[in-house]
A and B are shown apart, each in its own frame.
Chain A
Amino acid sequence: MSQMNMIESIRSALDVMMDKDPTVVMMGEDIGHFGGVFRCTDGLQRKYGDHRVIDAPIAEGGIIGAAIGMGLNGLRPVPEIQFADYIYPGFDQIVSELARIRYRTCGEFFSPVTIRTPCGGGIRGGQTHSQSPEAIFAHVSGIVTVMPSNPYDAKGLLISAIESDDPVVFFEPKRIYNGPFDGDPEKPAKSWAAHPKGEVPEGHYTVPLGKAEVVREGNDLTIITYGTLVHVAEAAVEETGVDCEIVDIRTIAPLDVDTITASVNKTGRCVIAHEATRFGGFGAEIAARIQKDCFYNLEAPIRRIAGWDTPYPHAFEWQYFPGKKRLVAGIRDIMEIE
């Protein structure tokens, strides 16, 4: 076991997989010689060569399109899209091609691509370096959509993603690359050193895709969340003193419905929290499932806490970000309903 932040654990996952499987290749903007703008691939080109850690032209559609072709020829490509906000030029290749190759060829062809991409705000990135577009991808059948919330899960989920024969879009919440973030930008940044999920095995292990985790047990209210907001939720629960259960869904799609509904059936109250915009956000899908499967156990309406339905404004990111205050207010509101 080692202490790792999320950058180190992601790099460790890539290192483990490149060492274990010679068909694993990476391609992306600035990922080779430079090691990536967030350093996730630092040192890997030196170790595995420039034919396996490939610096790419600035053309996300080309990176994803070429990665699909590599995957069709027996490689296991792990392209990086430098920011999730840049993924849209490759959207057609993901939606119309990557997601459907297995389906349209009845399994004769498939391309096991894992697209890594940093997402989320809170780093003063403005509207083109802060987005959380996971719901757009979760809406596409054939894609596995993942967002880890800590170094241990990030490594184990990334290894599962690379080993999976399904295409995966792997979102990395960049605000928590270096430490858990409770939503208060005024407080000094915490490192992963003190967090139990900052303890990461150096070798190969997996965290299963499609499995949520109950990160805090409780009886009175369930918070369903993922990514950065797992830590904000923990801080909010502490402040309210409410006996909350927190479910980190980890894989957005396919969704682990059983863990969610078991928790809400137990607590009877539910708050769903994500950083992405609310309208048509993934929280709506979760709410619909809960409504269907937990209706007779619900004691209060389901509440969504999310980013406002605006672009992510540079100067007002903390007013945009669904932080501790909004979560605390949401939890208290829902608990007050009799």
Chain B
Amino acid sequence: MADKKSRLHIPQPTARPGDKPDFSYLDLSPAGAVDKPSIDSRTRDIEYLSSGLVRVLDDDHQAVGPWDPDLDSGKLQIALRWMVLNRVFDKRMWQIQRQGRISFYMEALGEEAVSVGQGMALRPGDMCFPSYRNQALYMYRGMSLVDMMCQCLSNTRDMCKGRQLPIMYHSAKANMFSISGNLATQYPHAVGWAMASAIKGEDHIAASWLGDGATAEADFHHAITFAAVYQAPVILNVVNNQWAISTFQGVAGGERRPFAARGLGLGIPGIRVDGNDFLAIYATTLWAADRARRGGGPTLIELVTYRGGAHSTSDDPTKYRPKDEWQDFPLGDPVERLKQHLISLGHWSEEQHEKLEAELTEEVTAAWKEAQQYGTMTEGPFLDPSTMFDDIYAEVPHHLESQRRRMTKVEGVNGGGSDS
């Protein structure tokens, strides 16, 4: 069947295991080269933002060009701290999963600047509809490491009471929605939330995240349509980390036009930004947030980055991409770039960085110690399984109460089928 005459195009990545990494397909702009328009620009006048690449940090680690947000060094140190915390936390949780002490984990290696940069550009009253690699958003917006670990452990302090896969956090207090395992479903929620904010006359905006792969889902297209039609105050982010498990971004349709251009046909401005450049991320997000708050409607931001690790603890990336591909990624490592920038400003040093890593590692170790006191997968205290019948409806209906009784009394607390 597969013959040379086929006119069908099956996208193939530029490199598979054993090949030399090849990122020649990535269109790059030099730092500082992309103009920064006013927030009330018409979409048609700023289409260049979706094809260029907004970058602030140059190869010498200097902040250059019109998008430099001019943040003081204190703020940059704070950003670096959250990014390092994200990395240290992920590293520890990955080990914990490998030791069999949690069932699953997903790390954000190489993508830490996305959550931290965007988190810092948003206001606390803004609502976030995250994807599964936005753990630093939860951290930055106030979720404790212990709470996150307890969620991953499904223990007695788990905010999800054992109902959700590890990493699917939520926090109403932090205005952080719950993560879904079905991709892109959160995108229309963000648009609806933003529409409600506008209907109520409030100035809060919504933001949502998904990956390059998930842009193929209908929910992505529903969301950008509704956002455009009603000019909803929402920031829709596509984290293009080049890989959706084993399929490269071309399989989601990224070969010919950037994901940032997906909204142009609907009149949504798109910004393609260096997703490993904290300053560029912060500046573009702030631009989109200001625009949305002033009634300018939605912005689609594509954050060009690289998934430094596996998709999750369940896959082995050496089976589908070159082992050392990340090292050749032209946009580097976001943590290293912000660190070098701060060093070049004279506000950071290798010693300080090592000390920070050590401190945060200790913080994570202490949190893990505490989290285990609330129970682990093998050692108590354990959650009461009878709580699984709660929160399905606002009030527990008769048939669920009866199934709960049957589970606890007849089948034993460890559960079983029910026909009562």
Contact = CB atoms under 8 A, between A and B. Distances in A.
Given A65-B189, A69-B189, A92-B182, A102 B394 contact: yes
Contacts of A70: 192-193, 195-196, 199
Interface in B163-192: 163-164, 168, 170-172, 177-178, 180, 182, 185, 187-192
A257 interface: yes
Contact of A144 (B159, B218, B393, B419): B393
A104 B170 contact: yes
B194 A109 contact: no
7 contacts: A51-B199, A62-B219, A62-B226, A69-B193, A102-B391, A103-B163, A165-B394
A106 B222 contact: no
Contacts of A101: 178
A106 B199 CA distance: 28
Complex A-B, nearest 6 residue pairs according to Cβ-Cβ distance, in ascending order: A69-B192, A65-B188, A62-B222, A66-B192, A73-B196, A69-B189
A105 B223 contact: no
Interface of B: 127, 129, 159-161, 163-164, 168, 170-172, 177-178, 180, 182, 185, 187-197, 199-200, 206, 218-219, 221-223, 225-226, 229-230, 390-394, 397-399, 419
B189 A97 contact: yes
A186 interface: no
Nearest to A72: B193
B193 A105 contact: no
Interface in A72-101: 72-75, 77, 89, 92-93, 96-97, 101
Contact of A105 (B178, B185, B200, B225): B178
Nearest to A69: B192
A62 B200 CA distance: 20
Interface in A100-138: 101-110
Given A103-B163, A166-B393, 9 more contacts: A66-B192, A70-B192, A92-B219, A96-B180, A96-B182, A104-B170, A109-B172, A142-B392, A254-B398
A71 to B, nearest CB: 8
Nearest to B196: A73
A141 interface: yes
A282 to B, nearest CB: 14
A108 B230 CA distance: 28
A65 B168 CA distance: 19
B390 to A, nearest CB: 8
B225 A59 contact: yes
A255 interface: yes
Contacts of B419: 288, 292
Contacts of B170: 104-105, 108-109
B291 to A, nearest CB: 20
A70 to B, nearest CB: 4
A104 B177 CA distance: 11
B178 A104 contact: yes
A290 interface: no
Contact of A68 (B159, B171, B188, B218): B188
